[in-house]
Amino acid sequence: MHLKTLTVRGFKSFASATRFDFEPGITCVVGPNGSGKSNVVDALAWVMGEQGAKTLRGGKMEDVIFAGTSARPALGRAEVSLTIDNSDGRLPIEFSEVTITRTLFRQGGSEYAINGAPVRLLDIQELLSDTGLGREMHVIVGQGQLDTVLRATPTERRGFIEEAAGVLKHRRRKEKALRK
Ligand code: ATP
Ligand code: MG
Residue-wise pLDDT tens digits, 22-50? 998 999 999 999 999 999 999 999 999 98
Atom of ligand 1 nearest to the CA of 13: 30
Q: Is 13 in the pocket of ligand 1 (CB under 6 A)?
A: yes
Residue type at 53? A
Residues whose CB is less than 8 angstroms from the CB of residue 163 and which lie 6 or more positions away in sequence, other chains included? 132, 136, 137, 138
Residue type at 40? V
Average pLDDT over residues 128-150: 72
Return the CATH number of the domain spanning residue range 2-131: 3.40.50.300
Average pLDDT over residues 81-108: 95
Angstrom distance (rounded) from CA 116 to CA 91: 17
Asked if pLDDT for residue 135 goes beyond 70, the answer is no
Q: Which ligand does the CA of 15 lie closest to?
A: 1
pLDDT band with cut points at 50, 70 and 90 for residue 150: confident
Angstrom distance (rounded) from CA 117 to CA 172: 23
- Give the Å distance between the CA of 38 and the centre of ligand 2: 4
DSSP reduced 3-state for 170: helix
Q: What is the pLDDT of residue 137?
A: 61
> Do residues 108 and 147 lie in contact, with contact meaning Cβ atoms separated by under 8 Å?
no
Q: Which of 140, 139, 134 is nearest to 91 (CA)?
A: 134
pLDDT band with cut points at 50, 70 and 90 for residue 167: confident
Selected residue with higher pLDDT from 179 and 15: 15
- Give the Å distance between the CA of 33 and the centre of ligand 1: 8
Closest residue by Cα to atom 21, ligand 1, is 13
Q: Is 74 in the pocket of ligand 1 (CB under 6 A)?
A: no
Chain mean pLDDT for the chain: 90
Helix (H) or strand (E) holding 102: strand 97-105
Q: What is the pLDDT of residue 140?
A: 77
Q: Where are the domains of the chain?
A: 2-131, 141-180
Cα angle: 88, vertex 89, 93; to 5 degrees: 155
Alpha helices in 48-166, H assignment, sequence order:
121-128, 146-150, 154-165
